Each structure stands twice: as structure tokens, then as C-alpha cells.
Amino acid sequence: MELIVFVIASAMVLAGALGVVLRSNPVHAALSLVLTLFGIAVHFVALGAHFLAAVQVIVYAGAIVVLFLFVLMLLGIDKSEDLSIEPFPIQRPLAIVIGAGLAGLVIAAAVRARDALPEGTPLESGGDSNIKQLAQNLFSDYVFAFEFTSVLLIVAVAGTVMLTRKEKKGGES
Amino acid sequence: MLLALAEPTTTYYLILAALVFAIGSVGLMVRRNPLVMFMCIELMLNAVNLTFVALATRFGNIDGQTAVFFVMVVAAAEVVVGLGIIISVLRRRPGATADDLAELKG
């Protein structure tokens, strides 16, 4: 049963990932990204990370992709890009070779290390134990990092407002 | 039925994450629309998140899931700043691709 879920969710993830790269229309690419993110959320549920699955759907699929679509519509660059134009003829074959090599190396390492991974005691699952464990870990061991993420978010918001505001004087835009 | 009995091991998840990471990196190298390049970066971040969660489950250690939480926060901040830069660049040069930005003159 779990293998069936894994196969279906993996097909979603890979189809979405290929769609992001191969679709010429950026809106279609963003919707393919949603497919990938939902597939990864399914994997999170299968692995017992229920809180992260919810955050994945809400933050990634709900906020980040909507932000992408918002910018696409706002700037009006949602036209198809002609993918047959290649400015550097060597670029695509080289990129595919590098990507295949990267995937091959990492997969070889993962397969070689499959028996070396130590098996720990399984995490508690069922009910809200995943959220409780995560909260205890986050607010005890990583509480400073957690507080600094709020600083990071405020700096990011203030910086974006500074970057995108229109100048009042000193030339157009 | 054999398919219903077998369980996916951690290695399956690692292989899937490696494939998604490679697809994202190829997209980053091939595509020239800056927004699509950003989506490819999101793909790579998600592949790493999947690795973190798979290994956290395998080791029985919740620290991996905490790391994924922080990666998500940083990814959100990165998207906000990156899209701000892209908006201010494309406002001056409509239809710019990543190749046109090499001069960094604005």
C-alpha cells in the first residue's frame, strides 16, 4: 500500500518538475510547480511529518506560487517563450550532461550507503505527537534561530519595499 | 500482490530527491526567463527538504524536520526579495532575460 502511494506521489513530483523545465509558458510552469509541491506534501504525510505537509501546502503552494503568478500577471510577461532559440548552442547538451552526472553521482552514493544508514528508534506518530515534538524541539534547542527568522522576515519585507517603490523625483521611474 | 507488501525505504526517497534536484539544476542552467529560473531553485530546495524529512524519519530524530521548517522560512524570504529585484529590473527593461542582465547597469 505504501509503495503504491510512493509511486503515485513520485510520478506527480517528477511530472511537475519536468513541466517546470519544459513548459514554454511561465504560467504553465508555475502550475506544474504546484503539482510537484503537492506530491512532496504527500511524501511528507507518508513519512509522518504531518505539520510540515500542512506548511508545505499553505506556504509553498498557497503563498509562494501565488506570488509567482501575481508577478507574472503584474508584469505581463505571461507570454510563451520560444524555447527553440538557443543563444549558446553548447549550453543545453552541456546542462543535460551536468544534470545527468549530478543525478548519477548522488544516486550512486545513496545506493552505496543504503546499508550504512543507522536505523534509529522510530518517531512517535499518531494524534498530534508530530506537532508536539517539533514544537518542543523548535522552542528549546532552536529558539534563538527561531527568533532570528523573524528578524530575517522583517528585513526581507523592508528590503523589498525599498527595492520596488517608485522614486518621487530624479528622472522617470 | 507484491506491490502492496513492499515498503519504500529511505533510499527510494533519496533517489527521488536526487532526480528532482538534477531536473531543477538543468532547468536553472537552460531556461532564461528569470521567474522560471526562480521556480527551478524552488524545485531544488524542495528536493533537499524531502531528503531532510526522509533521513529524520530514518534516524528517529526530529532535528531534520526543524531544519526543513527553517529552509521554508528562508525560501519564503528569498522569493520575496528575488521577486522584488525582478520587478524593479523588468520595470526598466521589459522582456529582459537573464542574459540581458549580465551588464548589471539597470
Give the domain CATH number at A23: 1.20.120.1200
Alpha-carbon distance A127 to nearest alpha carbon in chain B (angstroms): 16
Find the domain containing A134 and state its range. Answer: 130-166
What mean pLDDT is reported for chain B?
A: 86
By the 8 A CB rule, do A68 and B83 touch? yes
B 37-76 residues with CB < 8 A to A: 38-40, 42-43, 46, 49-50, 53-63, 65-66, 68-70, 72-76
pLDDT band, residue B97 (cuts 50/70/90): confident
Domain ranges of chain B: 9-103
Please state the pTM of the whole predicted model.
0.89
DSSP B98: G
**Residue A52: inside a domain, yes or no?**
yes
- 3-state secondary structure at position B87: helix
- The predicted complex's ipTM stands at 0.88
By the 8 A CB rule, do B65 and B53 touch? yes
Q: Which residues of A touch B53 (CB under 8 A)?
A: 43-44, 47, 49, 52
Residue A138's Cβ-count burial label (10 Å; 0-12, 13-18, 19+) is: middle
- Give chain A's domain count: 2
Picking from B101, B95, B80, the residue whose alpha carbon sits closest to that of residue A70 is B80
User: Which of these three, A50, A79, A108, is where a domain ends?
Assistant: A79
CA distances from A39 to A13, A103, A123, A158, B69 (A): 5, 20, 22, 33, 18
- Which grid coordinates are listed for A109? 552514493
pLDDT at A127: 74
- pLDDT over 60 (residue B106): no
- Condensed to tens digits (0 to 9), the pLDDT of residues B72-95 reads 999 999 999 998 888 888 877 776
- Which grid coordinates are listed for A144? 534563538
Picking from A62, A5, A95, the residue whose alpha carbon sits closest to that of residue B27 is A95
pLDDT at A173: 47
Alpha-carbon distance B93 to nearest alpha carbon in chain A (angstroms): 11
- Using a pLDDT cut of 70, give the percent of chain B over it: 88
- pLDDT over 60 (residue B4): no
- Residue A50: partners with Cβ closer than 8 Å, 6 or more residues away: A44, A130, A131
CA distances from B52 to A40, B55, B58 (A): 12, 5, 10
Give the largest CA-CA distance in chain B.
63
CA distances from B9 to A8, A133, B1, B18 (A): 15, 23, 18, 15
**Radius of gyration in angstroms for the set of CA atoms belonging to chain A, rounded to a whole number:** 21
**Residue A47: inside a domain, yes or no?**
yes
By the 8 A CB rule, do A16 and A35 touch? yes
Fold of B9-103: Helix Hairpins (1.10.287)
- Which grid coordinates are listed for A96? 543535460
pLDDT at A91: 84
Alpha-carbon distance B45 to nearest alpha carbon in chain A (angstroms): 11
By the 8 A CB rule, do A24 and A83 touch? yes
Statement to judge: residues A9 and A73 lie in one domain: yes
- Condensed to tens digits (0 to 9), the pLDDT of residues B27-70 reads 999 888 888 999 999 999 999 999 999 999 998 889 999 999 99
**Residue A71: inside a domain, yes or no?**
yes
pLDDT at B104: 60
**pLDDT averaged over consecutive 10-residue blocks of chain A (173 residues)?**
91 95 91 94 92 92 90 77 74 91 94 83 79 91 93 93 75 49
Q: Which residues of B touch A122 (CB under 8 A)?
A: 57, 60
pLDDT at A89: 80
**Residue A123: inside a domain, yes or no?**
no
pLDDT at A88: 75
d(CA A132, CA A14): 32
pLDDT at B103: 65
